[in-house]
């Protein structure tokens, strides 16, 4: 078992004032989660929000600054979920943000089907086959590859959680966009917004943000692209608004 405690630290989440407990041994949070938390629609006053594959809780913590709704994160790895729970206490959010340690696929049976307003997910990007010969530890393999949950299961779980007209937002790799949109449509979540993320504006996109509506009507908007770094090598205002 990985000794995560030896590598644990507390970091600030950009300019949010929030803190995150993380460990290099357990796949620390990345920029894609931050961008997803900013991209996703959230109800301001009330609502039920869920984050699948939540890791150490970065998306629920950031969403908590945009909504007064109740937020639940679910994470299958106990060592990682423990960090998320500690972060909720550290940020004094344990009364509004909670975490469940279990497989994401089970969540509709745990909290009830079709009762959520928003579901978000930063899922494993790569297929099980791509993980066969990678020399990385199991925590990283689970976070990066579809060893315990597939894209089809992520979208299917979101569909089972969302109420009519609820929103599902996800960050993923552009090379899987066709597959993502096909799966969403098949599961009854109509793709409505897409935004591409580029390391620099003159480079090919390396991330895509996508949001769909449960039972929504066709009609897709492609938003202006996000550039992570400017010509000066620093974060752009898309990433660091202040």
Which H or E run contains 25?
A: none
The pLDDT confidence band at residue 4, using thresholds 50, 70 and 90, is very low
pLDDT grade for 239, boundaries at 50, 70 and 90: confident
What angle (nearest 5°) sits at the alpha carbon of residue 194, between those of residues 164 and 11? Answer: 95
| Mean pLDDT score across all residues of the chain | 90
Residue 112 pLDDT more than 90?
Answer: yes
Query: Tens digits of per-residue pLDDT, 32-88?
Result: 999 999 999 999 888 999 999 999 999 999 999 999 999 999 999 999 999 999 999
> Going from the N-terminus, what domains does the chain have, and what CATH number goes with each?
5-189 (3.40.50.150)
Residue 238 has what pLDDT? 84
pLDDT value at position 118?
98
Least confident of 26-40, 122-136, 150-164: 122-136
For residues 225 and 177, give the distance between their C-alpha atoms in angstroms, rounded to a whole number. 15
Q: Tell me what percent of the residues of the chain surpass a pLDDT of 90.
A: 74
pLDDT over 80 at 24, yes or no:
no
Cα distance between residue 186 and residue 26, in whole Å: 33
Using a 10 angstrom Cβ sphere, with 0-12 exposed, 13-18 middle and 19 or more buried, the burial of residue 110 is: exposed
Q: What percent of the chain has pLDDT over 70?
A: 93
Cβ-contact 20, 87 below 8 angstroms: yes
């Amino acid at each position: 078992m990985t000794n995560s405690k030896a590598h644990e630290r507390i970091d600030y989440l950009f300019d949010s004032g929030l803190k995150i407990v993380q460990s290099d041994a357990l796949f620390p949070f990345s920029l894609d989660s931050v961008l997803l938390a900013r991209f996703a629609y959230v109800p301001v006053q009330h609502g039920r929000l869920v984050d699948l594959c939540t890791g150490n809780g970065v998306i629920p913590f950031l969403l908590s600054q945009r909504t007064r709704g109740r937020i639940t994160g679910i994470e299958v790895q106990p060592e990682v979920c423990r960090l998320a729970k500690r972060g909720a206490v550290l940020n004094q959010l344990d009364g509004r943000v909670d975490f469940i340690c279990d497989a994401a696929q089970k969540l509709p049976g745990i909290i009830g089907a079709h009762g959520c307003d928003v579901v978000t997910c930063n899922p494993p990007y790569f297929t099980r086959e791509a993980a066969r010969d990678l020399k990385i530890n199991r925590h990283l393999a689970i976070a990066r590859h579809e060893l315990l949950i597939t894209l089809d299961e992520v979208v299917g779980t979101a569909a089972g959680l969302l109420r009519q007209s609820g929103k599902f937002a996800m960050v993923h790799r552009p090379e899987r966009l066709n597959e993502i949109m096909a799966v969403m449509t098949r599961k009854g979540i109509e793709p409505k917004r897409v935004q591409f993320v580029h390391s620099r504006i003159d480079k090919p996109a390396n991330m895509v943000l996508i949001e769909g509506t449960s039972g929504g009507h066709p009609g897709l908007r492609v938003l202006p692209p996000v550039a992570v770094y400017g010509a000066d090598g620093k974060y752009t205002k898309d990433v660091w608004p202040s």
